[in-house]
Amino acid sequence: MIAIVKRVLLTFLLLLLSSLAVFAAIRLSGGDVTAARLPASATAEDRELFREQIGLNKPILTQYVDYLGDVVRGDLGNSLTNNAKISSLAAEKIRNSLILGAAAIVLVFGIGIPLGMMAAFRRNSWLDTSISSASVAGMAIPNFWLALLVVWLFSSTLGWFPSAGQGGIKYLVLPSIVLAAEGIALTVRITRSAMLENLSQDFVRTLRASGLSESRIYFKHVLRSSLLPIISLAGLRVGQIVGYALVVETIFGWPGVGQILVNGVLRRDYPIVQFFSLLLVVVVTLGNLAASIGYTFANPRLRK
Amino acid sequence: MTNESSLLEIKDLSVGLRASNIAYDIVRNVSLTVNRNEILAVVGESGCGKSLTALSVLQLQASPPLFITSGSIMYGGRDLATLSKKEMRIIRGTEIAMIFQDPMSALDPMFTVGTLLTSAVHSHQSVGKDVAEKMALEALADAGIEDPKRRFDEFPFQLSGGVSQRVIIALALVNNPKLVIADEPTTALDVTVQAQILDRLKELKKDRGMSILLITHNLGVVASVADRMAVMYTGEVVETGAVSDVFDKPQHPYTTGLLGAVPRLGGAVSDLTPIIGRVPQPDELPVGCTFVDRCSRAVAQCSSIRPTLQVRGRAEVRCHNPVD
């Protein structure tokens, strides 16, 4: 119980510190807020007036306190670019990103775990070698380059999938694969090494001696122990997917949190950047929390 | 040819390491017989091949790189060394079961004692859940566990070493095997628990008419539970016979050496006679008798001719110049 309270308090502290970091970073990184909102013909006085209006001339700490006050009152602010209320555009962006992120998570574990198990089961065979080499490649290939590659192959050349935009499941295939690629590769490696390590444990010999079939030993017992490291690293996978979503959504024109955040940074749209980066912090924190709760449940030593 | 009373007959068994650049045998021409309702102890130092002999009976040796290179393991009219994986799986647990050395790591930590036991039942018998549970509870009671119902729902990490070993014994008993191979079952336990476990094994032999192949390096354990014994050295059986005969009148110089190195209650430490020298590595064994470099009774032919196991008196001994 105390552990949970501690954890929740720490999460709030983390959110507060990250909000300050984001707030400061976007303001200190230079650039001109007025460039995106005001026409090119606007005079220096016009621009100065605009800054005055949105409170940019106050000291940065005062601005931060004002911002926190607004947030606590439930006012997330408006976009500086088109004056849209953030609270009204957030829902759609979040929904879109959740679809893409969930698809990527399903691929990471749904493909990564079975491939890792196959590699371990047929260790040192051609199958293991191919899977392991592919996973090294999967970790080494930068995802923006992989994105260009799959667009060139499956969109431009073969014409199987659309290269950008959003619609049916067809539109989801390429971005989710690119988003999941590195996570799949890492999950394959973790699964393979955990399976191999557990296969050499003494308890496997006991199970064999009591006459359990190899498939039973493999799928029930060895897999069960191997899930622990996979679950404990699942939090990292979530963080990874959140980070990569910025790149992947931009490349594939996926109208989600990543895309609006990247555009917000480019236009120095402070309220957009502040809200959506904080949202990513929340998602990563929740992902880690879910992973550690999952780990506790999966491990009888912690559960009892 | 096969003796009526024998349950397991290992004949001329060799088990060796085979890889791209190495090939030598670790177990060499071992012959052992376990009779019905008998405890046979195999005794020897670490690395003498006793555990590997035991493991290869159930084909549980790490293969590759370890393979049975010659000989036969006759059980119930079949040669276990030639069985397929499927046939071997059926033997394991139902005909021959095994108990291991380190109880704390021999149980799958992720499952309860009950799940481990019932899944062992289910892998051999198509019985209902309640029947399997009943069998599991009976096996736990038979293994000497005080409160089987409570232990049933516990995880291995909640058990002490002694209770873990009893659970492993229950796991071995649950499918009613005729032979249990116990590989150093008490080595990791403290002495009082050791004595309880050994008593349990003796009772199981009596109550269930089971046979036990007991692997140990402890001569005290041999003396207290075994009917017959075999002494192994460098992968060979050097002497075998009834425990009383071998203890009273050891014939192989290695056996006399082992017995001379056992401390006696009330005796001074200086009374111990160590065996000089060290055990040769399995890939650099002498041509003749492998004990020749450490033997005080060695004669000329010992370094050139490998002795065979010969009946001598009431025991069998592998020596050119045995102790009278």
Q: Of all residues in chain B, what percent carry a pLDDT higher than 90?
A: 32
- Sequence-distant (6+) residues with CB within 8 A of A67 are A23, A77, A274
Query: Average pLDDT in the A275-290 region?
Result: 87
pTM of the model: 0.81
Interhelix angle B161-173/B129-142, nearest 10 degrees = 120
Share of chain A above pLDDT 90, in %: 25
**CA-CA distances (angstroms) from residue A203 to A145, B87, B163, B164?**
45, 22, 16, 12
| Count of other CB atoms within 10 angstroms of residue A9 | 10
Q: How confident is the model at residue B1 (pLDDT cuts 50, 70, 90)?
A: very low
Separation in Å, CA of A207 to nearest CA in chain B: 8
Phi-psi region at A302: left, alpha or beta (left = phi > 0; alpha = psi -120 to 50) = alpha
pLDDT at B272 over 80: no
- Which residue type, as a one-letter code, is found at position A22? V
Cis, bond preceding B274 (omega within 30 deg of 0): no
CA trace torsion A215, A220, A226, A228 (10° rounding)? 170
| 8 A C-beta contact, residue B282 and residue B260 | no
Partner A contacted by B58 (CB < 8 A): yes
CA A200 – CA B32 distance, rounded (Å): 29
- Smallest Cα distance from B309 to chain A, Å: 31
- Return d(Cα A213, Cα B179) in angstroms, integer: 20
pLDDT at B310 over 70: yes
Pairing status of strand B96-99 against strand B179-183 = parallel
Strands B228-233 and B39-43, by their bridges, are parallel
B215 in reach of chain A (CB within 8 A)? no
Record: contact A210-B120, CB cut-off 8 A: yes
Q: What's the CA gap between B193 and A151, in Å, rounded?
A: 68
Query: B213 touching A, CB under 8 A?
Result: no
**Torsion angle in degrees (nearest 10) through CA of A289, A293, A299, A303:** 140
Q: B3, B34 in Cβ contact below 8 A?
A: no
DSSP code per residue over A46-81: HHHHHHHHTTTTS-HHHHHHHHHHHHHTT---B-TT
pLDDT band at residue B145 using 50, 70 and 90 as cut-offs: confident
Best CATH choice for the domain B6-317 from the list 3.40.50.300, 3.60.90.10, 3.40.718.10, 3.30.450.40: 3.40.50.300
pLDDT one-digit tens code per residue, A30-86: 777 777 777 778 788 888 888 888 777 788 888 888 888 888 888 878 887 777 888
- Encoded amino acid at A237, one letter: R
Chain A residues close to B161, C-beta within 8 Å: none
Q: What is the pLDDT of residue B2?
A: 47
B274 near A CB under 8 A = no
Q: What is the pLDDT averaged over residues A258-280?
A: 86
Nearest to A205 among B60, B120, B123 (CB): B60
Residue type, A250: T
Q: Do B120 and A202 touch (CB under 8 A)?
A: no
Give the type of residue at B77.
G
Closest chain A residue by Cα to residue B59: A209
A98-131 residue pLDDT tens: 889 999 999 999 999 999 999 998 888 999 999 9
Selected residue with higher pLDDT from B262 and B233: B233
The H helix count followed by the E strand count for chain A is 15, 0
Beta strands across the sheet bearing B236-242: B96-99, B179-183, B211-216, B39-43, B228-233, B236-242, B315-317, B310-312
The predicted structure's pLDDT at residue A192:
95
Q: Flag if A224 and B110 touch (Cβ within 8 Å).
A: yes
CA of B93 vs chain A CAs: smallest distance (Å): 4
Among chain B residues, CA nearest to A213: B89
**Chain B partners of A216 at a C-beta cutoff of 8 Å?**
119, 123
Q: Write down the domain spans for chain B.
A: 6-317
Rama region for B247: left / alpha / beta (φ>0; ψ in -120 to 50; rest): alpha
Distance from CA of B303 to the nearest CA of A (A): 39
CA angle B96-B100-B105, nearest 5°? 135
Question: What are the tens digits of pLDDT across the range A137-191?
Answer: 989 998 889 989 988 888 888 878 887 777 778 888 889 999 999 999 999 999 9
Count of other CB atoms within 10 angstroms of residue B223: 15
Q: What is the phi/psi pair of residue A293, to 5°? A: -65, -45
Residue B273 contacts A, CB cutoff 8 Å: no
Handedness of CA B240, B241, B245, B251 (dihedral sign): negative
**Residue B142 structure tokens:** 């038979």
Which class is domain A93-303? mainly alpha
| 3 state SS of B238 | strand
> Is residue A18 over pLDDT 60?
yes
pLDDT of res. A226: 93
Interface residue B87 vs chain A (CB under 8 A) = no
Cβ A211–B123 below 8 Å, yes or no?
yes
Q: What are phi and psi of A194, to 5 degrees?
A: -65, -40
Hey, is B70 helix, strand or coil?
Answer: strand
Residue B124 is nearest to which of A211, A221, A224, comparing CB atoms?
A211
Contact between chains at A214 and B85 (C-beta distance less than 8 A): yes
Percent of chain A scoring above 70 in pLDDT: 99
Amino acid A304: pLDDT: 64
Which structure tokens are listed for B301?
Answer: 């032919």
Share of chain B residues as helix, strand and coil, in percent rounded to the nearest 5? 35, 25, 40
Closest residue on chain A to B174 (Cα): A210
Find the mean pLDDT for residues B18-44: 89
CB contact under 8 A, B91 and A211: yes
B280 DSSP assignment:
P
Inter-chain residue contact B107 with A203, CB threshold 8 Å:
yes
How far is the C-alpha of A193 from the C-alpha of A187, rounded, in Å?
Answer: 10
Helix, strand, coil percentages (3-state) for chain A, rounded to 5, are 80, 0, 20
Q: Does A209 touch chain B (CB under 8 A)?
A: yes
Q: Is B89 on the interface with A (CB under 8 A)?
A: yes
pLDDT band of B25, cuts 50, 70, 90: confident
